[in-house]
Structure 1
Amino acid sequence: MNKRQLGLMIGALLLSGCSMAPDYDVPTVAMNDVYLNQVDSATQPGSHFHAAWWEAFQDAQLNRLVSDAQRQNITLKIASERIQAAQSYHKAVASLKVPTVSISGGVADIRLSENEAMMGGMVRDHTLPSALGGGQVRVMDRDQTDYFLGLNASWELDVFGRIDSMSQAAAIRAEQAAIMKQAVTTLITADVINNYLQYRGAQERIAIADENIRDQEEMLRLVESLNRHGYGSELDVANAKANLAATRAMVPKLETAKSVHLNRLAILLGENLHKTEARLAGQSAQRVMPSMHGVIPTGLPSELLTRRPDIALAEREIAARNQEVGAAIANQYPRFFLTGSPGVMAGDFGDLFDSGSDTWMLGAGFSWNIFDAGRNKAMVDMQEAGFRQSVLSYQDTVNAAFNEVETALRAYGNSQQFEHYLKEAEQQAETALGKANSLYQSGLVNHLSVLDAQRQKNQVQDAEVLARLNTASSVVMLHKALGGDWNSPAARLPSVPRT
């Protein structure tokens, strides 16, 4: 075969290259125009979902915590390294589509055995007959030295698209790694916000308990004074002391809760506990739990398909599986190879680059498993089953996402009603306590009425904080269900193009 014929064969093979990956469409999912549990007074259907939504809490400390966590969190750093590894793997697979070229050179010093069966006779001295002049002669020298320098090139022609499908699958896996980091960012950020809210909630509940303790201590002193002057009884004193002790008993439990959330924040921030405690205890830090301001833009149900990382991840899994099916199908067909090794070789280094020292080898071939007991067919069947599984997983993920949003919307609406009623109850309990104190000091009611009013006020006041905390937590849950961009402005990532 001459060079022109080989070139024509290569060109024909390249032109005939094709992909065996089947065409596929993203599965369609039936959905409503709006969410069924949409709360119009608190959310906006069809409105644009905005990034850095937690800034609506209007808490500078919270904003700094989210930004620092997204830069410092160890789990997010691991996710970044996974992206790098996936991208490097894609580059490695994609490199199989181009020729591999290596350079080699060196010197070889060889001594041949005079007693070796094949070559020994060529390096031994032989006596010529007298007719030929006599004397000793040998065919070749026993000691050989060769200098060489050359290139080695090999190339698998991707005629049936096997390597291209593998490369496409690897590129999609890299996209999945980036999407996974977005999902981890959502989880970490939601955890930071929730733990911060819980920490501030515990602080506020401790402050309320401390205030109630002071009021009850003052009431105890009044009851003891009245008892000493004959206007009360030991029963009133005992009840006042019991009420005070019950309130004091709440403080250690709340301190434990505050410590737990502080420790969790330190882990999420990837920093020392004392540093986290110092930043939350600063002079500029507020001691009350922040509340959400404004309404929540929920967008349209159809937008959920593009905002949720888990849905994007499931869709990319379908695409990757589809390419892996194509690679498995192409693996059933022949593989074509080209190899070449041009170079120079000489017995004397000074002659290495002279004319006549050039040497080369060029080859073309193919490999085809014509019998493997059904192994290749089984691999195709396995990949196709994996593709069908990914389609079902996508549908299941979408259904779960819509259900999660509906549940979060219902929880958010109910938590707002619960908070509203408790605020009204707190106002009434405060009024009842004031009237009970006035009537008791006037001698018109006994101390049990005061204790009952005080107990009601303490319970409702603490429950009101829990109600606000429940509302704030439901806000986080709703935003988490809605998906979207959770990167803080200081830690925003570039988008990854899809393959």
Structure 2
Amino acid sequence: MKSFIKTTLTPIAFALVLTGCAVGPDYQEPTVELSQAYLYANNQAIDNNPIWWESLGDPTLTKLVEDVQAQNIPIKVAAERIKMANSYKQMVDSLKVPTISVGGGYFNYQLSENDSLLGPVFGAQDALGVSLLDSQHDGGFLGASIAWEADIFGRLDRQSNAAMIRVEQAEIYQNGLYTLITADVISNYLQLRGAQERRELAQDNIADQRKTLELVEKVVRSGYGSELDLAQAQAALAATQSVIPQLEIAEQVHKHRLAVLLGEPLETLDARLDGSQALPQISGVIPVGMPSELLKRRADIRLAEREMAAINEEVAMSIANKYPKFFLTGAPGVTASDFDDLFSSDSFGWAGAVGVQWNVFDGGRSDALVEMNEARFDAAALNYQHVVDSAIKEVDTTLFAYGRSQDNQVQLDNAVDAARNAVSKAESLYKAGLIDYLSVLDAQRQKRMLQDRQVAARLQSAQATVAVHKAIGGNWVVSDVNAGESVDLAAIN
């Protein structure tokens, strides 16, 4: 029995969990209750091959997919975003280790002998006759500055965790982009081949209708036909001829879209398409799987879940920001008036300090920041539930469309078979002298019309197949396309 899909997102409550001195809520992945099957899923075997388009047996399409995954510009941009996210994560992690800077140089200065405070000291001498203070000084120095924040309450750890989650989101986004771009290429390629096949059928139909028109004209000239028959033949021919420009427009539109997706000139694409070919036959089963698998297969669901995790870390970070910050600083170095003495033991000096900073009053700013991030988390949780619900409904919708398109294709296949039988019988009757050739041409016209509808039905079924595969998600990345740059997507399937 088919059952309806109901989703219930388990509420995630915030709680202050202390781990050592760390503060902030620990993240718990959302729990979603799903039915065991989709509403319109058929009981059939599961094809686990993620590179499903190879089953179409079209080498040109397979090569287009490989190339688009390797050279599509938005996919390259997504790869750069992963690099940026990794660099940001590295920058955040650097806050957890001491910052050390070194410096050195030469100094020279002269004090004013007329200074009201130090001026009288310049002329003074000690008991041995040595001047107590010279007005001019010079020398060199070399030293280091060390600063480190002790992350006692885990603020920096939380910030690092959030940065790591942003890296994961960038990777998930790239994987989702692979799916969208690949599905777009397959869809446009199928539309292109469908338009080409329909155009060839229309041209054959035009040739048959011209023969019909010539026969009608002869009959009219002989006085046995009517002007109505002639007008109907002319109208039928003109109607079929009007379809050709529309199909040519569709063919060019999909060629241009493919060229944009591939990032290459239209001339280059024309060369690889090898003229006109038939629409690939869709065969095999669709790897629908279980509804629960969507939680790991769909990029939008995984992005929504990771957004919750990232905001949870930001909540904890804003809570930890309310607690004291402890700093350790040090500045060892050497200073001497003579460079020869710069590295002697007597030239060494240092300074060190332990400090604490705590905003005991900020007008409620820290509390407001915590409340704002908690509200962001609640919004992210609601968005996650919405994304899951939408994904389930999208799969059910595409499965329904797929099933109906299959039924439509079966009916039209039967109609085309019947039309072929009609043409065969009409030809036999004509040879026997029982009917005129106009009846034969009319039967052929009916067959051509049904063949056109058959191609359109096959195209609709193919598009529905692409939509189902796109809706269920998964890893669509061709192996070794971006060797050295591709994302680890083992968790997708």
Q: TM-score normalized by structure 1?
A: 0.88
Note the alpha carbon deviations across 1:411-430, whole angstroms, 9 max, x for none.
11111000110111122234
Q: Distance in 1 between matches of 2:440 and 2:228?
A: 13
* TM-superposed deviation, 1:243: 1.5
Closer, same or farther: CA 98–177 of 1 in aligned 2, 3 Å = same
Q: Distance in 1 between matches of 2:107 and 2:465?
A: 75
Closer, same or farther: CA 446–275 of 1 in aligned 2, 3 Å = closer
Q: Which residue of 1 aligns with 2:40?
A: 37
* TM-superposed deviation, 1:19: 2.7
* TM-superposed deviation, 1:459: 3.1
Would you say 1:485 and 2:475 are equivalent positions? yes
Q: Which residue of 1 aligns with 2:458?
A: 468
SS of residue in 2 equivalent to 1:109: strand
Q: Distance in 2 between matches of 1:290 and 1:436?
A: 31
Q: Distance in 2 between matches of 1:117 and 1:427?
A: 115
Pick aligned residue for 1:23 from 17, 26, 38: 26
Pick aligned residue for 1:197 from 190, 193, 210: 190
Verify the 8 A CA contact 1:149 1:344 in the aligned structure 2.
Answer: yes
Q: Distance in 2 between matches of 1:366 and 1:307?
A: 47
CA RMSD in angstroms, aligned pairs only: 2.6
Q: Distance in 2 between matches of 1:92 and 1:347?
A: 39
Q: Which residue of 2 aligns with 1:8?
A: none
Aligned AA for 2:155?
Answer: R
SS of residue in 2 equivalent to 1:299: coil
Q: Which residue of 1 aligns with 2:252?
A: 259
SS of residue in 2 equivalent to 1:345: strand
Pick aligned residue for 2:293 from 294, 303, 314: 303
Closer, same or farther: CA 416–48 of 1 in aligned 2, 3 Å = closer
Q: Distance in 1 between matches of 2:23 and 2:53?
A: 47
* TM-superposed deviation, 1:121: 3.7
Aligned AA for 2:31?
Answer: T
Verify the 8 A CA contact 1:52 1:489 in the aligned structure 2.
Answer: no
Closer, same or farther: CA 219–121 of 1 in aligned 2, 3 Å = farther
SS of residue in 1 equivalent to 2:105: strand
* TM-superposed deviation, 1:152: 0.8
SS of residue in 1 equivalent to 2:78: helix
Q: Distance in 2 between matches of 1:382 and 1:209?
A: 63
Q: Which residue of 1 aligns with 2:69?
A: 70
Closer, same or farther: CA 195–281 of 1 in aligned 2, 3 Å = same
Q: Which residue of 1 aligns with 2:9?
A: none
Q: Distance in 2 between matches of 1:58 and 1:119?
A: 94
* TM-superposed deviation, 1:21: 3.1
Closer, same or farther: CA 453–21 of 1 in aligned 2, 3 Å = farther
- Structure 1 residue ranges without an equivalent (≥5): 1-15
Would you say 1:151 and 2:144 are equivalent positions? yes
Would you say 1:406 and 2:399 are equivalent positions? no
Closer, same or farther: CA 99–66 of 1 in aligned 2, 3 Å = same
* TM-superposed deviation, 1:57: 1.1
Closer, same or farther: CA 223–455 of 1 in aligned 2, 3 Å = same
Q: Distance in 2 between matches of 1:234 and 1:413?
A: 46
Q: How many residue pairs were aligned?
A: 470
- Structure 2 residue ranges without an equivalent (≥5): 1-18
Q: Which residue of 2 aligns with 1:273?
A: 266
Q: Which residue of 2 aligns with 1:178?
A: 171
Q: Distance in 2 between matches of 1:463 and 1:106?
A: 85
Pick aligned residue for 2:181 from 176, 182, 188: 188
Verify the 8 A CA contact 2:47 2:285 in the aligned structure 1.
Answer: no
Closer, same or farther: CA 230–434 of 1 in aligned 2, 3 Å = farther
Verify the 8 A CA contact 2:329 2:354 in the aligned structure 1.
Answer: yes
Pick aligned residue for 1:244 from 229, 237, 240: 237
Percent identity, aligned pairs only?
A: 50
Note the alpha carbon deviations across 1:332-376, whole angstroms, 9 max, x for none.
100000001111111111110012000111110100000011110
SS of residue in 2 equivalent to 1:255: helix
Q: Distance in 2 between matches of 1:276 and 1:118?
A: 85
Q: Distance in 1 between matches of 2:228 and 2:430?
A: 15
Q: Which residue of 2 aligns with 1:380?
A: 370
Pick aligned residue for 1:390 from 369, 373, 380: 380
SS of residue in 1 equivalent to 2:143: strand
